Structure 1
Amino acid sequence: MKTDTSTQPNFFDSKVLGHPSGLFVLFFTEMWERFSFYGMRVLLIQFLTMSVIGLNPGWEMSMVDAGAIFATYAMLLYITPIFGGILADKYIGYRWAVVIGSLIMTLGHASMTLETEFFMYLGLVLLVVGTGFFKPNMTSILSEMYKSFPEKKDGAYTIFYMGVNAGAFFGMMLCGYIGERIGWHYGFGLAGIFMLLGTLQFWFAKPIFGNIGDVPNKSIELSESDIKNTHTTIHEEKEAVKLNPFTTLDYILIVITSIIGFLYAFDDAFYIVGKIKLFPETILGYDGKTLIIIAGLLIFLYLIISRIVRYTKIVRDRMIAVIIFAFFTIFFWMSFEQGATSLIVFARDNTQRVLIGNKAMLFNVFNLLLTVVPLLIISWVLFLLAKQTIKKALISNIVLAITFIGVWAAAIWMLGRDWSSNAYEVTFDAIKTVALDKAGEPKLDKHNEKIYEYTPISPANQPKEGDDIVKQTAVVSQLDILEKGKKVEIYEELGNFTILSDKQKDKLTTDFKTHNKATTIVQAEITEIKDNQVEITASWFSILNSFFIIALASIVSKLWDSRFNPPASIKYGLGLIIMAIGFGILAYGSHGISEGTRVSMMWLVFAYFFHTLGELFSSPVGLSYVSKLVPGRMIALMFGMWYLAIAIGNNLAAKLGGQIEKITEEYSLSVFFLIFTVVPIVAGILVIALNPLLKKLMHGVK
């Protein structure tokens, strides 16, 4: 979309940190959208797989089914922006697209707070549709703002990217904490509230942007200077358009492959939700789904190849380079996006998240700094923005102030809750039995001694004659101040005990009765008052990716600006290998652990460090190379193909992540993580080995 610049304001008349104030309006809009997106995402898998009976119950869906649902959602998130971008570019403009997308996503979050099957799935659909409108058009507004200032664009995108990560950071931290500690619907609801407020602050900031992002003016024609591909001459562009028009067959093949792609995306979800199969079971005696997907891939390859061969050699070679990068992109996202599924489950079920005494104090201090320092910095930016724009966009600034008051309030409440928790040692009776393996043989430790299990006595687990009854102890966190010797009732969830309030006990008793089950509430006694204890939420570990990006981005960026800047294929290959090291660390850390054993949280911290470093190495290679290497007539299709590669990677990530329990049960947790160690390393070595070929195919593009 080309915008008439005759009535645009001079953006650099109003500056914040050397950039137009409009950039920071976009910064905060994107921040709140990412807050809501990642805040919801970090809760979804946990909610779907949590037991239907518990202090914070979920749907008790199998990890395989939950992964398949998330796979459909993740794949569509990268497909709908293709259509949203087209609609904005041709009909409604970037600004309206952002607002429409934001409002649809707000409705999606609101729908998910109801937690019923219909509204949960409706919410996911609305989020997918809303993302389609929002995602491509925020960056389009940013690009349009800096069209006359190309030398400032890199710095602007860096600042904008910080907004993305700040939103993800606080969304996962606060929505995750509230969702896990208070209730899933509160976490989903908080995401929706900030999505709505972010929409309002963007809408009321319209005077700052002039007519940037408005409905396109079709009377304005593209000039020669608007040709996107700076590495292709205007003559080459015009010749490419003339020699390679889309044929009727091309359009037919695009429709066919699109239909097959959507059927593939929805198939598992439709079967899980409604037992509906979108593919025939068999075709000519073979699996129908497999045959149709293979046919779709072959048709898609024919479409791409048939179009590429019609171009001149240089243009054709550059497009082949893009296809090679897109292929390896699948392997990167297939592994990296485990952070949305298997790594959350690993943090919840297999990581030692309870810290006591000095370790708890150290974590609380670290978490305080980790929360407050970024909030202070961003609040300072908010103050600078308000000084520049308060007269032009008063209501926008008021809304933005309200959002930050809300975030500060939520953060202070979260920190205060962890700092004020008390720890008690409780004693209860348990049945001691020998742990057995799958073959029914006693499990042995490394000293060949038998391993014992201790089952707390409760109405559901009553001792039989001859059972060995022993005393067991556990350390429990509690906000209330209790006395030594007090009789309490405790409940075990996710390997940790909670001292029940009367309200919690009544709810659990009702839930067990509804499901015709005896309760597992345990009678206990407080035997000692301990030092402070804190239980880290499973969601907290997800913020490490955003934290490490903010901490490491400038360092890696300086490396790319130095003489050590490697070629694109080397960067991408190193990114894959470095990310794989993170999974290798998890494979090593989880090696040989028995069922119910939890590993140190530091394994997960180091894993996220290497995953983020791998992302920073790979991020320079991607959409920028598509825009550099592809001629204008083909750029929409190739952008679509790149997003399709990311969508396939996200889809595979969720489906494979859903196999964590199955692979762990059949083999081991270590084997599961080895998959994501070996595959990216092999892919990384291959793409590095292809560097001479890719360099040749790119014909001087760097």
Structure 2
Amino acid sequence: MSGVKSQGTIFGHPKGLFLLFTTELWERFSYYAMRAILVLYLVDKVQDEGGGLGWSSADALSLYGTFTGLVYLTPLIGGWLADNILGQRKAIYLGGALMAIGQFILAAPHQWSAGIETTIFYVGLFTLIIGNGLFKPNISTMVGDLYEEGDHRRDGAFTIFYMGINLGAALSGFLVAWAYTQFGHTLIIDGESVFIHNWQAGFFLAGIGMIVSLIIQFLFAQKLLGDIGTVPSAKLEKQKAIDKGDTRKEPLTKVERDRIKVIMVMGLFTIVFWAGFEQAGGLMNLFTNEFTNRFVGSFEVPTTWFQSLNAIFIVVFAPVIASIWVRLGKNEPNSPIKFALGLVLLGIGFLFMIGAVLEMGGDANAKSSMWWLVGAYFFHTMGELCLSPIGLSMVTKLAPLRIASLMMGAWFLFVAAANKIGGIVGSFIGHGGPKEEQLANAMSIFAGIGITAAVSAIILYLMADKLVDWMHGAEGHAHDEAEHLAEEVAVTAEHEAIKPS
């Protein structure tokens, strides 16, 4: 711990933990609020008094994949800058400010940007990407620094912290829906009443969330965190190594090479999973908006509410999954088998999406039940809870210490590639045309992802024993439910591009 004076505890943890919890909650609220409406804004038809950019579904989903891919890629750069130049605290302030600016740029009304709205839109996204890269990889590092090495409270601290992530993500879908409907308006077009969603209000609300995050951090950081995050950590570590005269560069051993093979192989399978899973904010979001009956009585459930299901399911079911692994004891499956199970559950989720399309009978004017979507999100989340805890945890266990950061970077490259591939796959829905054609294309995409996930699961299952051999004893199970809960809730450590400390 680096120069922190005790300010007392809450629930047995330093008060600084709950400062970081709240900071991250509002940052994740900001990001997920924007993500929930990004594709919807892109495809919404341009109107004289509002609306979206009027893009085709294919173009919107392709851009969505590029954006989310870069969101996972830039933390590598942001982490290096914080470690070597800025320090975590300055990186968070700078990154948060850029993210807020990006959200407010997206919130600029069309009337202010006539003729250049697309350029301004790109500038807003670029600013968000750079800000995210500076913010995301650094705040969790500060969580770890609150505790001395060996402090048994650290795992519980990350569990609490990741709950903040999911709470922010869950709130975002509900509140952003309130914003874009509350501040929308009705127009009479060709004699028909048309409601115009105010997407700019949604982006503005996301910007407010980021400002709240920054204000909280700025007001209380010095008091509750002391000097944590103010000095670039890599500079300190390098100086310690120099002082000890430890500058050796040793070649990789056979065991280390085998373990790196496991990381590379599992990385390929993680591309399959996340490319499918990330359809949630893209293709599945569009399907929810265009082809789903969202009425409960006279109330129409906002499209973005479904974006909150994943976070809600994680909070509710992470302890259940943790308990199941504990009760299995010695029969608990190894990491590759859990990974394969995650892929199977992803495939089952897309069976529900296929069911939604089949219910419509090829009629694009019909609507499918929203319960198909709830089922799909449920099984996708169960797959995430089986698969994602393996990710960064596996890298930290298997990567040789002297190249751990390099291997972590390689892992995030797999996740970034998965997001871009997911956008490309979703874009196969087409560049417009009849809705029947788009529906048929969506059916092919859902089926294709489901089949790919199932085949990948079978291949990984057959490889599992060999992969465990290559781990050379690094494979192990947590000993109690608390450890398992920390792993399961830490699912978002990988998904949110957070590097553990």
Name the TM-score, length of structure 2 as normaliser: 0.84
Match of 2:271 in 1: 330
Q: Does 1:316 align with 2:257?
A: yes
Counterpart residue identity of residue 210, structure 2: M
| Counterparts of residues 187-206 of structure 1 (less than 5 Å) | 187-205=202-220, 206=222
Residues of 1 paired with 2:373 and 2:72: CA distance?
Answer: 27
Query: Residue by residue, what CA displacement relative to the aligned partner does 1:384-416 show, whole Å, maximum 9, x if unpaired?
Result: xxxxxxxxxxxxxxxxxxxxxxxxxxxxxxxxx
Residues matched between the structures, number: 441
Matched residue type, 2:78: G
Q: What is the CA–CA distance in structure 1 between the aligned matches of 2:307 and 2:237, rounded to whole Å?
A: 46
The residue aligned with 2:349 is 582
- The structure whose Rg is larger is 1
Answer 1 or 2: higher relative contact order, Cα 8 Å, separation at least 6. 2
Secondary structure at 2:136 match in 1: helix
Decide whether aligned partners of structure 1 residues 74 and 593 sit closer, same or farther in structure 2, where only a CA change above 3 A counts: same
After superposition, give the CA deviation of every residue in 1:76-101 in whole Å (9 maximum; x if it has no partner).
11111101101111111111111110
- Following superposition, the deviation at residue 43 of structure 1 comes to 0.6
Instruction: Kindly indicate whether the alpha-carbon contact (under 8 Å) linking 2:53 and 2:118 is maintained by their aligned counterparts in 1.
Output: no
Contact 1:569 1:691 in 2 (8 A): yes
Query: How far apart, in 2, do the equivalents of 1:556 and 1:329 lie?
Result: 20
**Aligned residue runs from structure 1 range 671-682, under 5 A:** 671-682=444-455
- Contact 2:21/2:160, CA 8 A, preserved across alignment: yes
* Paired residue type of 1:212: I
Residue type at the aligned position of 1:577: V
**Partners of 1:574 and 1:214 in 2: CA distance:** 42
Is 1:43 matched with 2:50? no
1:117 matches 2:133: no
Inter-partner Cα distance in structure 1 for 2:394 and 2:219: 35
Deviations 1:474-529 (A, max 9, x none): xxxxxxxxxxxxxxxxxxxxxxxxxxxxxxxxxxxxxxxxxxxxxxxxxxxxxxxx
Query: What is the rounded CA distance, in whole Å, between the counterparts of 2:442 and 2:69 in structure 1?
Result: 26
Q: Following superposition of structure 1 onto structure 2, how do residues 212-611 of structure 1 map, counting pairs within 5 Å?
A: 212-216=228-232, 218=235, 242-244=249-251, 311-356=252-297, 533-562=298-327, 563=329, 564-591=331-358, 592-611=361-380
Aligned with 2:10 (options 7, 16, 38): 16
Among all aligned residue pairs of Structure 1 and Structure 2, give the percentage whose two residues are the same amino acid. 35
Partner of 2:134: 133
Identify unmatched segments of 5+ residues in structure 1.
Answer: 225-233, 245-310, 357-532
Which string of whole-angstrom CA distances, capped at 9 and with x for unpartnered residues, describes residues 351-380 of structure 1? 001232xxxxxxxxxxxxxxxxxxxxxxxx
Write out per-residue CA displacement over residues 654-679 of structure 1, whole angstroms, 9 at most, x where no aligned residue.
Answer: 12112224696174543221112111
Q: Are the aligned partners of 1:42 and 1:176 in contact in 2 as well (CA < 8 Å)?
A: no
Deviation of 1:142 after TM superposition, in Å, equals 1.0
| 1-structure distance, mates of 2:214, 2:334 | 40
Which residue number in structure 2 is paired with residue 697 of structure 1?
A: 470
Q: Matched residues in 2 for 1:341 and 1:681: separation?
A: 21
* Per-residue deviation, residues 561-593 of structure 1 (Å, max 9, x unmatched): 341432110111101111110111110231133
Cα separation, partners in 2 of 1:664 and 1:630, compared to 1, 3 Å: farther
Given that 1:319 and 1:630 are in contact with CA atoms closer than 8 Å, whether structure 2 keeps it comes out as yes
CA contact (8 A) 1:326 1:642 kept: yes
SS in 1 for 2:292: coil
Deviations 1:502-561 (A, max 9, x none): xxxxxxxxxxxxxxxxxxxxxxxxxxxxxxx11111111111111111110111122233
CA separation in 2, counterparts of 1:594 and 1:54? Answer: 31
Amino acid at match of 2:468: K
Offset of 1:639 from its aligned partner?
1.0
- Kindly indicate whether the alpha-carbon contact (under 8 Å) linking 1:56 and 1:180 is maintained by their aligned counterparts in 2: no
Q: Matches of residues 626-645 of structure 1 in structure 2 within 5 Å? A: 626-645=395-414
| Contact persistence 1:664–1:671 (CA under 8 A) | no
The 8 Å contact of residues 341 and 658 in structure 1, kept in 2 or not, is answered as no
Aligned equivalent of 2:72: 78
The change in CA–CA distance for 1:222 and 1:618 in structure 2 (over 3 A counts) is: farther
Q: Is the helix fraction higher in 1 or 2? A: 2
Q: One-letter code of the match for 2:170? A: F
Structure 1 distance, partners of 2:134, 2:176, is 24
Q: Is the 8 A contact 1:574 1:617 kept in 2?
A: yes
Do 2:429 and 2:441's aligned partners in 1 also have CA atoms closer than 8 Å?
no
Q: Secondary structure at the match of 2:296?
A: strand
Aligned partners of 2:436 and 2:459: how far apart in 1? 29
In 2, Cα distance between equivalents of 1:642 and 1:608: 25
Deviation at 1:150, TM superposition (A): 3.8
Q: Deviations over 1:7-63 (max 9, x none)?
A: 3224xx622222221111111111101100000011110011011138852111011
Alignment correspondent of 2:194: none
- Counterpart of 1:625 in structure 2 is 394
Q: Distance in 2 between matches of 1:51 and 1:659?
A: 20
Instruction: From 11, 22, 33, give the equivalent of 1:28.
Output: 22
Q: CA 1:107/1:575 → structure 2, altered by over 3 Å: closer, same or farther?
A: same
| CA positional deviation for 1:74 | 1.1
Q: Residue 26 and residue 321 in structure 1: after superposition, are their counterparts in 2 closer, same or farther (change >3 A)?
A: same
SS across alignment from 1:635:
helix
Could you say if the C-alpha distance between residues 64 and 319 of structure 1 is closer, same or farther in structure 2, counting changes exceeding 3 Å?
A: same
Task: Tell me the residue number matched to 2:195.
Answer: none
Alpha-carbon distance in structure 2 between the residues aligned to 1:176 and 1:123 = 21
Q: Which amino acid aligns with 2:448?
A: I
